[in-house]
Structure 1
Amino acid sequence: MNSVSKGSDMANSYLSDETITRCESGSKEEKVKLSKDVTSAWSDIDTFAAAIRSGKTSWEEISPDDMDIRLKWAGLLHRRKRTPGKFMMRLKVPNGIVTSEQMRFYGESVEGFEEDVGVVDITTRQNIQLRGVTVEAASTIIAGLHALNQTSFHSALDNVRNIVGSPLAGISPTEILNTIPLTTKINDMLIRSPDGTFGNPRFANLPRKFNIALSGGDDDFSHCNINDLGFHACKSSEGELGFNLDVGGYMSIKRVAESVPLNLWVPEESVVKICESVLTVFRDEGERKNRQKARLMWLIEEYGVEKFTERILEEAGGKEEGGFKDRQEHVIRENYVRQEILGVHAQDEERSRVGLHIPTGRLTRYSCKAIADLADKYSDGEIRLTVCQNIILPNVLNSDLIALEADVNLIDNVDFSAGLIEGNVVSCTGAQFCGLAMVETKANARRVSARLEELVTVPKAVRMHWTGCPNSCGQAQCGDIGLMGAPARKEIDGKKVAVPGVNIFVGGKIGENPFLQLEPRIKGVPLDGEEVVDVLAEILVKDFGAVRR
């Protein structure tokens, strides 16, 4: 007899008896999920907020299991170490498509918070994070998001994270397949209940987080190789639209694994079905005790790639039932050059897409409103986020480009153009808010990249990824240059003392033929002062053809 009540509307009701038995002897998180179903977070947040607003309780009196774990199912991640009592609220923004109304609401949502705490971040999953959120404000923000057809539910801990797609979907002249309809369908399958409301328990209790990305063409702006499921657009030999499927990519403090190809081609109409199939197998059979091994790649290795493919096809109803085929040959188009995101690029004879630089993805309440105003004025209210933490305004009339540039130049923290180094910086949250980060990343990334622009010129864009710790939320291993927070020592007053530092990775690649650089070239470079700048300038000269000014 299991100790868990398996109500028809609870996440635990979807777990088999065997899975629940494994959870009962599993990690602390698994036991917390069993003791009180995680879907309770979707209503508990309203209860907690009302109690605090009425003076009946305070956030300190909320159980740590709720405050630090279960509320993550409502998208609320307590920053207990850096900003106690305040959350980072992570949203769900499939394919990174945002309306001007939603962007304006993000800025309004953080207006009541302290200036240096209440900020908005664009993430490496085309997503939005609101910072400085309190319990009492959270339920109001969630209600506002739902009114705008958006949610924060299912966005943290053991959930499927934001579904990534091509930021040029539907507007790229070279795309094979538009990813927007599919990312929306996958997202809805995961987070909407049968009546269409937000909150679906079916895949709410997974062994760990799960990442899905779809690439619509050769450029792979979605970085499929570091996702649990990576769909690469590819026509079948008969000309049908679909995807070759790679599986198992992820980054963590213990292991970084590049995805592996399956001998499987998925037709467009069966993408949601195969996602359901893999997630069901992962939910039911994935590791529940050792959280470092509770990612899809470990389960794939237990099965073996061929057997794993057979298992997920069985779950999907069979190869013929879903129209699945063996992996299809894809030849990169002749004279292939990866498209640029930043800057002005022709869409058609009358319109352009405009990629705007958001330094390290950090927005303020003011820049959110200003970007929303730009979108209303120039791009039919549409804003697209990228995994490189920038934005695109699509469908801009060519006759409006001069006026758009003038308006952008009036906005702090938004650039119409940027240098080849500064414009390609990616950064995790860093020690300002994250308790795991060993160094502050965003401020240092801006300082160092600006200094490098003064010292050298580079012949092409150099992607510089900053991450505060080995969890690598900033994806240091896939950057042309990656910087990871690490211990360092520096001589001060004749003595070697410990200081914040970085390990430096060189040579990661994205797009076609991606490559993760797993080993740092240089370790323990002090972060303050000019030492890290000098080391990076030398790397830029030797590896990337930079010329000193």
Structure 2
Amino acid sequence: MTSATKPVGSLNKFEKFKAEKDGLAIKSELEQFAQLGWEAMNETDREHRLKWLGVFFRPVTPGKFMVRMRLPNGILSSTQMRVLAEVVQRYGEDGSADITTRQNIQLRGIRIEDIPDIFTRFEQVGLTSVQSGMDNVRNITGSPVAGIDAAELIDTRELVQQVQDMITNQGKGNPEFTNLPRKFNIAIAGGRDNSVHAEINDLAFVPAYKDGILGFNVVVGGFFSAKRCDAAIPLQAWVTPNDVVDVCRAVLEVYRDHGLRANRQKARLMWLIDEWGIDKFRREIENALGRTLQPEAEKDEFNWDKRDHIGVFPQKQPELNYVGLHIPMGRLYAQDMFDLARIAEVYGNGEIRLTVEQNVIIPNVPDSRLDAFLVEPLLERFSINPDPLTRALVSCTGAQFCNFALIETKNRALTLIKQLEAELDLPRPVRVHWTGCPNSCGQPQVADIGLMGTKVRKDGKAVEGVDLYMGGKVGKDAHLGTCVQKGIACEDLKPVLHQLLIEQFGARPRQEAVVSS
């Protein structure tokens, strides 16, 4: 079934407009949209079809669009970062960028009249935002230290690029995969610490040895949604690196042609696996491949605790280092982006990497330049040694820019964490994730402490609140956390977290810590 083919069964409104016109066709209309202005655009084009090109109408900021990039493996050059900075700079206080939990960047404050010129600038430096929204494969994640980690098993960079090229036709757009039943996430892990959160992807490749050969065990079906959250399960298959692109294609073809479409709340890949069973699902993948898959390896190589890559670390290349910078809440402004491009060129080789924790890595810093790098004023804002709560803090966009969010997240999260750090001394980082709604873009289920936005009643009024999740684990033996308390008003949250950090995570009041030391 191609993207323009009418799906079988009853059509919801999304399937109807997808059947009417392929999302990529809207590219030829961008100049017209720029002249018309956002208010005169067809509503379906403006609010839905533009997403096939990575352009998102934001109802909470009318006329100011968001553009979501595609950055395979979370890697970009200083030249590319500078172009993104120039785009953000156009819009003054309205312009900003967010690093996402998929090693990606989203640009905010964009005007529709500028999109044709912005896309031209992207193309000039090898950037694309194609197929980054709606029912497409999202940014493909890989090891953030691929090719430079002394302990890595597989360099994921080329594999991730090959998969993206297959899905997007080298960034030109590929109608073969623009009409999936729902969005789709792919991750390729290259190390022992599960840096990509394989368990929350629809399709993930986990390093594993079989008969002395290094390849991947395959897991499928992981996802978060308002309706349901599930960890990925084994496909019961092992593949070589040379098989990865073909397996991705086969899984996408099966999902495209057989996935459930009638109810968008039950359309992610796991719902199809539930209906078929894993054995039938695997057989269909094998049919699409035209060959039998090998049984999975007895064990995978996820046997390390998760690393956050913040700090200074020697690379496998002699006399070179990578430096991980903590970006509070993943939020960047134009000058930040220019500064990151500059230090990547001055101290490294011009390469910039992003992590799923919304942070930045500058690789290839020679020993001889390291001391000068570490006294750069930029590192006062983007620390290599942040406090334990700030260090592992992750947040979705929240109500500031997202119409789905039930609460404001980023500013509230950072303010609250700073207050708690002023009061408490913690023996180790605690991963706190905020998400503004049950769609779980902030991934509270993988956190030590997860906070999901909701509305609660207090003194007879509806106020912003959170549901509390605990028990998420990343790295080896990863598993999802569960909701342990519902309906905490945000204004009452601080004492709850204060006590929780003391009882569950070994925090001590700072006065007590000072006295005992």
TM-score (norm 1): 0.90
Give the equivalent residue in structure 2 for 1:26: 11
Contact residue 464 and residue 481 of structure 1 kept, 8 A: yes
Query: 1:320-335, aligned counterparts within 5 Å?
Result: 324-330=293-299, 332=301
Q: Is the 8 A contact 2:198 2:205 kept in 1?
A: yes
- Code of the aligned partner of 1:261: P
CA contact (8 A) 1:175 1:217 kept: yes
Letter in 2 for 1:402: D
In the alignment, which residue of structure 2 is the partner of 1:514? Answer: 478
* Equivalent position to 1:442, from 410, 424, 432: 410
* Matching residue's letter, 1:351: L
Match in the other structure for 2:209: 235
| Counterpart among 289, 293, 296 of residue 266 in structure 2 | 293
Give the letter aligned to residue 57 of structure 2: H
1:396 equivalenced with 2:357 (yes/no): no
Residues 153-192 of structure 1 mapped to structure 2, 5 A cutoff: 153-192=130-169
Distance in 2 (CA, whole Å) between partners of 1:338 and 1:11 is 38
- Residue 225 of structure 1 pairs with residue 199 of structure 2: yes
Tell me by how many angstroms 1:405 deviates. 1.7
1:85 corresponds to:
63
Question: Which runs of 5 or more residues in structure 2 are unaligned?
Answer: 511-517
2:489 aligned partner: 526
Structure 2 partner of 1:542? 503
Distance 1:231 1:465 in 2: 25
Aligned residue in 2 for 1:3: none
Cα distance in 2 for residues equivalent to 1:163 and 1:399: 34
Change (3 A) 1:135 1:499: same
SS at match of 2:412: helix
Q: Deviations over 1:144-200 (max 9, x none)?
A: 1111111011000010000000101111222211111100000000112xxx56111
Post-superposition offset of 1:86: 1.9
Q: Secondary structure at the match of 1:152?
A: coil
1:465 is the counterpart of 2:433 = yes
- In 2: Cα distance, 1:448 partner to 1:402 partner: 33
CA distance in 1, matches of 2:299, 2:328: 35
Alignment of 1:176-325 (within 5 A): 176-192=153-169, 196=170, 198-237=172-211, 239-319=212-292, 324-325=293-294
Structure 1 residues 412 and 71 mapped into 2: Cα distance closer, same or farther (>3 Å)? farther
SS at match of 1:485: strand
Could you tell me how far apart the structure 1 residues matched to 2:476 and 2:466 are? 28
Other-structure match for 2:382: 414
The 1:350–1:249 alpha-carbon spacing in structure 2 relative to 1, beyond 3 Å, is: same
The one-letter code sitting in structure 1 at the alignment partner of 2:39 is: E
* Contact persistence 1:504–1:522 (CA under 8 A): yes
2:345 is the alignment partner of 1:376: yes
The answer (yes or no) to whether the contact 1:370–1:411 under 8 Å persists in 2 is no
Instruction: Check the 8 A contact 2:128/2:171 in 1, yes or no.
Output: no
**One-letter code aligned to 2:168:** I
- Distance apart, 1:254 and its partner CA: 0.6
Q: Pick from 451, 460, 466 the counterpart of residue 502 of structure 1.
A: 466
Contact 1:367–1:414, Cα closer than 8 Å, also in 2:
no
| Contact map agreement 1:179 1:214 (CA 8 A) in 2 | yes
Instruction: For residue 248 of structure 1, report the CA deviation from its aligned partner.
Output: 0.3
Amino acid at match of 1:44: E
CA RMSD, 1 decimal: 1.7
Aligned partner of 1:456 among 424, 427, 431: 424
Amino acid at match of 1:510: V
Structure 1 counterpart of 2:514: none
Quote the residue 2:311 is aligned against.
343
For 2:12 and 2:216, the matched residues in 1 are separated by 36
Q: Which amino acid aligns with 1:123?
A: T
1:53-202 maps to which residues of 2 (within 5 A)?
57-80=36-59, 82-115=60-93, 117-192=94-169, 196=170, 198-202=172-176
Counterparts of 1:338 and 1:228, CA distance in 2: 20
- The letter for the 1-side match of 2:176 is R
Number of positions where the alignment pairs a residue of Structure 1 with one of Structure 2: 509
Query: What residue identity is the alignment partner of 1:268?
Result: P
CA distance in 2, matches of 1:330, 1:346: 29
CA distance in 1, matches of 2:205, 2:403: 33
Tell me if structure 2 keeps the 8 A contact 1:11–1:203.
yes
Contact 1:367 1:413 in 2 (8 A): no
In structure 1, how many angstroms separate the alpha carbons of the residues matched to 2:255 and 2:394? 30
CA distance in 1, matches of 2:354, 2:456: 35
Give, in whole Å, the separation in 2 of the partners of 1:205 and 1:496: 45
Q: Amino acid of the residue matched to residue 486 of structure 2? A: K
1:22 touches 1:289 (CA, 8 Å); kept in 2?
no
**Residues 28 and 340 of structure 1: CA distance in aligned 2, closer, same or farther (over 3 Å):** closer
Map of 2:515 onto structure 1: none
1:163–1:212 CA contact under 8 A, matched in 2: yes
- 3-state DSSP class of the match of 1:433? coil
Match of 1:29, SS state, is helix
SS at match of 1:218: coil
Checking the alignment, whether the CA contact within 8 Å between 1:42 and 1:153 is kept in structure 2 is: no
**Pairwise CA distance, 1:413:** 4.4
Distance in 2, Cα, partners of 1:460 & 1:135: 45
> How far is 1:371 from its partner?
0.4
Q: What is the alpha-carbon distance in structure 1 between the residues aligned to residue 196 and residue 171 of structure 2?
A: 28
- Kindly state the Cα deviation for residue 480 of structure 1 after the two structures are TM-superposed: 0.7
Secondary structure of 1:384's aligned partner: strand
Whole-angstrom distance in 2 between the partners of 1:282 and 1:410: 45
Distance in structure 2 (CA, Å) of the matches to 1:403 and 1:489: 53
For structure 1, which segment, 497-506 or 428-437, has the greater mean C-alpha deviation from structure 2 after superposition? 497-506
Inter-partner Cα distance in structure 2 for 1:21 and 1:533:
49
CA distance in 1, matches of 2:26, 2:194: 35
Structure 1 residue 247, shift from structure 2 partner: 0.2
Does residue 37 of the first structure (1) align with residue 19 of the second (2)? no
